[in-house]
A and B are shown apart, each in its own frame.
Chain A
Amino acid sequence: MEVPDQRLPAATFEDLAMPLFDQLYNFAHWLTQDTAEAEDLVQETYAKALRGFPSFQLGTNFRAWMYRILRNSFLSSRTGLKATVILDAEEQEDALPKETTTPESLLLEQANREMVQQALGEVPAHHREILLLFEVEEMSYQEISETLVIPIGTVMSRLSRARKALRSVLQQKLAGGRHGM
C-alpha cells in the first residue's frame, strides 16, 4: 500500500493561501468599508496565518481557518472594536417592516447591482458578514459555523434574518425610487 504524504510542509502555505487572496480581500473590504484598512487587514491576516501555519491541523478546513483569522484580526482592530458589538450581537428578532411585495419580484424587473451593493453596505455588519460568507464565498452552513465559531442553528437563523433584513432595505430603496419618480 502506498503511504500518503501526511506532511504539510511550510512551502505549501503559499499554494493553499494565495488562491484565497481575492475573496479574502473582498471580504475584508466589505468588513472594513475602507480600501487602506482592507489592505492592512489582509496583510495582517496572511502574516498571522503564515506564523501559525505550523500549528494548522491537517484535515481541518483551511479556508475557514483563514477567514477566522481575518475576522478575529478585524475584531481586534480599531474599526473592528467598534463593530464587535454589532458582529457578536445577540440574535434578536429584527423589527422589520412586513413585506408587502417581494423585493425579488422587483429585482426581476429592476436588477440593479449598485442598489444591492448599497443595501449590503447598509444592513447590520453581522448580517452582511453571513450573507457574504454564504452567497459570495459559497461556504456551507458547517464552514460558516467553523469560521464564526457559532452553532449551525445560529448560522441558519442568522442567515434567515440577514436575508430578511436585506430584502427590507431593498424594498425601501425600491419604494423610495418609485416615490422619487
Chain B
Amino acid sequence: MACEEWGSKLDLYLDGELPAAEASALGLHLRSCSACASDALERVQFKRSVQIAGRRYAPSAQLRDKIAKDSAPAPLVGLRWWRWAAVAALALIVAAGALYTSLGRENAQRQRLYSELADLHVATLASVAPVDVVSSDRHTVKPWFQGRIPFTFNLPELQGSEFSLVGGRVAYVQQSAGAHLIFQVRQHKISVFIFPERGAEMPSLATGPVNQLSFNVESWTRNGLRYFVIGDASPDDIRALSKLLRSAG
C-alpha cells in the first residue's frame, strides 16, 4: 500500500480505531517509512496539544460542594430497596391492623397469615443478609435445605425465563419450619414460602391469586405442601412464577 493510502488511515490508527489487522500492518509500515513516521509523530504532537489545551476550566470548590450535596442521597430518596420495602411493610402492618377489626374472625385469621408472610418477606429483604444460601443454582439451593426442614420440594428450571433464583433460608410461620426462597424478576424480589400443610394450624386459604394491600399473593397446595408466592411484582409475574413452580412438581 502506498504512503498516501496509509496516510488516510493514520488518524484512525492514532485514535485507536483502526481494525487490528490494519493497525498491525500500518505499524509495520511506520517502522520502515521515515516520512510516514514523521507525519505520525506530528499528529501525535497535535493531539497532545489539543488535549493539554482542552483541559482549561476548573470548577470552583463551592460549585463542587453544592453539586456533591445535591447528588448525595436524601434521607428517603437514597434508601435502598429493602428499606423501601421496610417502609412498605410498616404501612402494610398498620393497614393490616386496621383491616383486622373490620373483617370476620376467619377472614382475620387469613389476613394474619398473609400479614405474617408479608412481614417475613419484607423483613427478609430488609436484612443485611437476606438469604443464607446465596445461589442462582437450584441444585445448590435445594440440597442446602436437607436436614433443615422436615420435607423436600422441587425447584423449576428458570433458564429462558425472566426469573432468577437469588437464594433461600429457613423461615418459621406459626411454629412451623419451612423454606423461604427469593426469586428476582427485573427489579422485583418475590418470596416463595413452602410449608407443610397442617390444616389445624394453617388456616384455609383460597387457592389462586389474591391482592393483599399492594402485594400480590398466589397460594396453592400440592403433595401436602402449601406454597405461597408473594411480592410487589405484577400479578402476571406472580402468576408466571407460580406456574413455573407448579410445573416443577
Contacts and interface: CB of A to CB of B under 8 A. Distances in A.
A117 B54 CA distance: 7
A14 B135 contact: no
Central interface residue in B16, B53, B140, by most chain A CB within 10 Å: B53
B135 A3 contact: yes
A43 interface: yes
Contacts of B197: none
A3 B77 contact: no
A131 B81 contact: no
A43 B59 CA distance: 11
Given A14-B72, A25-B58, A120 B53 contact: yes
A108 interface: yes
Interface string B63-101: 110111011110001111100000000000000000000
Interface residues of A, number: 52
Contact of B68 (A18, A131, A132): A18
Nearest to B184: A6
A25 B166 CA distance: 41
Contacts of A30: 54, 56-57
B78 A104 contact: no
B50 A116 contact: yes
B66 A43 contact: yes
A3 to B, nearest CB: 5
B193 to A, nearest CB: 20
Given A26-B54, A29-B57, A1 B136 contact: yes
A107 to B, nearest CB: 5
B5 to A, nearest CB: 16
Interface string B126-154: 00000000111100100000000000000
Interface string B196-225: 000000000000000000000000000000
Contacts of A108: 42, 45
A107 B70 contact: no
Contacts of A93: none
A131 B50 contact: yes
Nearest to B11: A160
B53 A42 contact: no
Contact of B53 (A29, A113, A156, A160): A113
Interface in B185-203: 187
Nearest to A152: B17
A46 interface: yes
A50 B71 contact: yes
Given A3-B166, A132-B54, A43 B135 contact: no
B159 interface: no
Given A10-B78, A50-B71, A131-B50, A1 B135 contact: yes
Interface of A: 1-3, 6-7, 9-11, 13-14, 17-18, 21-22, 25-26, 29-30, 35, 38-39, 42-43, 46-47, 50, 102-105, 107-108, 111, 113-114, 116-117, 119-120, 131-132, 134-136, 140-141, 156, 159-160, 163, 166-167
Given A26-B58, A30-B56, 4 more contacts: A9-B80, A14-B68, A43-B66, A163-B46
Which 3 pairs, one residue from A and one from B, show the smallest C-beta to C-beta distance? Answer: A104-B42, A136-B54, A116-B53
